[in-house]
Amino acid sequence: MGRRVPLPLAGLLSLAVAMGIGRFAFTPMLPMMQADLGLSLSQGGWLASSNYLGYLLGALLGTRLPWSSEKMLKWGLWAVVLATAAMGLGTLWSGWVLWRFLAGVASAWVLIGTSALCVARLAASGRGEKTGVVFAGVGFGIAFAGLACMALTLLGVGSSHAWLWLALASLAGLLGASMLWQVPAAADSPTRVASRQAAAPSLRAQPEVGSGRLHWGLVWCYGFFGFGYILPATFLPAQARLLVPDAWLFSLAWPVFGLAAAVSTLLGSRLTRYCRRPTIWAAAQLVMGVGVLLPVLWQSLAAILIAALCVGSTFMVITMVGLQEAQVQVGPTIIKRQIAAMVASFAFGQLAGPVFFNLSHDWFGAPLSLTLVAGTVVLVLGSVPVLRLRA
């Protein structure tokens, strides 16, 4: 089955499983678990933090494990499927902490493995613009998880069974993505590769050689991005709940967020024909900064929806062009280590954002608006070194 799935679609399915379900399905699942299992908001916060920690550890392990990209991808996807199923089979909070932690570790492995395999193979076959299809998987996975939870709630399905249904969907996605580790990298014929490369746009052609050593500028820039991104991703939903009395109307925000992320990568991949990737990255980060700051200046539902659109339509574009730029800067020999280092930096920034808010709020009584302003400053200042990544 997996061998008949085109490479971009296999990559899409892989990221949909790992990120849409392994990482982000907990967001629409949390209200269901609160309703029928009595999960408190504090317990939900610890479950989310456990997943963040797992994501960071998975990225750090990715820089050290001697596994190939194929093995890291394969075992990561299987771990996501099993951890998702385990969430529905147990009712102990301590067990949920463990399963969310393992899902975070596995999600990082899948992102590293999928990025290293798909970006390199598509570039080698002259289909670099198809990378947008691969990274659209994150947005489609988020949208799928949100819509699935809405449908299961309407059908009266409990959260435990909902987790099992998501695990079954993850297994189907794994089977579709299996060609990534079954088909050898040189699957295209030399004639087909040559014809694709000849037909590829030559506008702003960029060398794809690489330095052969880690690019720490990319690693630092990715960490700034993680800090700025996680603040709206964490706190805008809470603000929306205060302004939207209808729970069903609010629940639509998550699928819309995912669809915006999916469409943005398809459009962003076309922009790489005409603009440098660092330019696209910096511009997207500035748009995200506007989205972070807007609810501070204009406290209304419209502001939050626009902010969600600004963040949802940029965070995967930055992820995509950042990992593409890594391929260019370091080359194929150490691309897995470079991506793992960038994902680890992102995960560290992602952890630092909520910690900064908690400490400033608990110790100094700082409001959420101050944290959002800080996130905007980091995003704006972080866009400057992005523009200097390459002459």
CB atoms near residue 43 (< 10 Å): 17
How long, in residues, is the chain?
391
Q: Are 96 and 220 within one domain?
A: no
Q: Are 133 and 266 within one domain?
A: no
Q: Are 164 and 225 within one domain?
A: no
Please compute, for residue 65, the number of CA atoms within 13 A of its CA located in the half-sphere on the CB side.
Answer: 22
**Domains in the chain, number:** 2
Q: What mean pLDDT do residues 265-294 have?
A: 88
Contact criterion met (CB below 8 Å) for 105 and 61: yes
173 Cβ neighbours under 8 A, 6+ residues apart: 13, 14, 16, 17, 21, 77
CATH number of 267's domain: 1.20.1250.20
380 Cβ neighbours under 8 A, 6+ residues apart: 285, 286, 289
What letter would DSSP give residue 273?
Answer: T
- For residues 33 and 188, the model is more confident at 33
Q: Are 242 and 368 within one domain?
A: yes
- Listed residues 183, 200, 228: the one ending a domain: 183
Q: Are 340 and 241 within one domain?
A: yes
Q: Is the pLDDT of residue 191 over 70?
A: no
Could you list the beta-strand ranges (E) of 206-324. none
CA distance to 118, 178, 199, 301, per residue, from 182 (Å): 13, 6, 28, 47
Mean pLDDT of all residues belonging to the chain: 81
Q: Has residue 195 been placed in a domain? A: no
Q: Are 171 and 225 within one domain?
A: no
User: What does the block give as tokens for 366?
Assistant: 């700082």
Q: Has residue 64 been placed in a domain? A: yes
- For residues 65 and 220, the model is more confident at 220
pLDDT of residue 207: 42
Q: Are 109 and 257 within one domain?
A: no
pLDDT digits (tens, 9 = 90+) for 148-176: 988 898 888 988 999 999 999 999 999 99
Q: Are 134 and 270 within one domain?
A: no
Q: Cα separation of 204 and 210, whole Å?
A: 17
Q: Cα separation of 100 and 293, whole Å?
A: 30
328 Cβ neighbours under 8 A, 6+ residues apart: 206, 207, 208, 210, 277, 390
Please compute, for residue 294, the number of CA atoms within 13 A of its CA located in the half-sphere on the CB side.
Answer: 20
Backbone angles phi, psi at 179, to 5 degrees: -65, -20
CA distance to 260, 297, 325, per residue, from 241 (Å): 20, 18, 37
Supply the range of the domain harboring residue 273.
Answer: 210-391
Q: Has residue 248 been placed in a domain? A: yes
- Listed residues 166, 183, 200: the one ending a domain: 183
Q: Has residue 326 been placed in a domain? A: yes
- For residues 133 and 236, the model is more confident at 133
What letter would DSSP give residue 213?
Answer: S
Q: How far is CA 131 from the centre of its chain?
A: 14
Q: Are 148 and 261 within one domain?
A: no
Q: Is the pLDDT of residue 111 over 70?
A: yes
Q: Are 348 and 238 within one domain?
A: yes
Q: Are 178 and 241 within one domain?
A: no
Q: Has residue 107 been placed in a domain? A: yes
Q: Which of 180, 223, 213, 206 has the alpha carbon at shortest distance from 322? A: 223
Question: Quick one: residue 218, left, alpha or beta (phi over 0 = left, psi -120 to 50 = alpha)?
Answer: alpha
What letter would DSSP give residue 19?
Answer: I
Q: Has residue 359 been placed in a domain? A: yes
Q: Has residue 188 been placed in a domain? A: no
Q: Are 239 and 134 within one domain?
A: no
Q: Has residue 216 been placed in a domain? A: yes
pLDDT digits (tens, 9 = 90+) for 340-386: 888 888 888 888 877 777 777 778 777 777 878 888 998 999 888 88
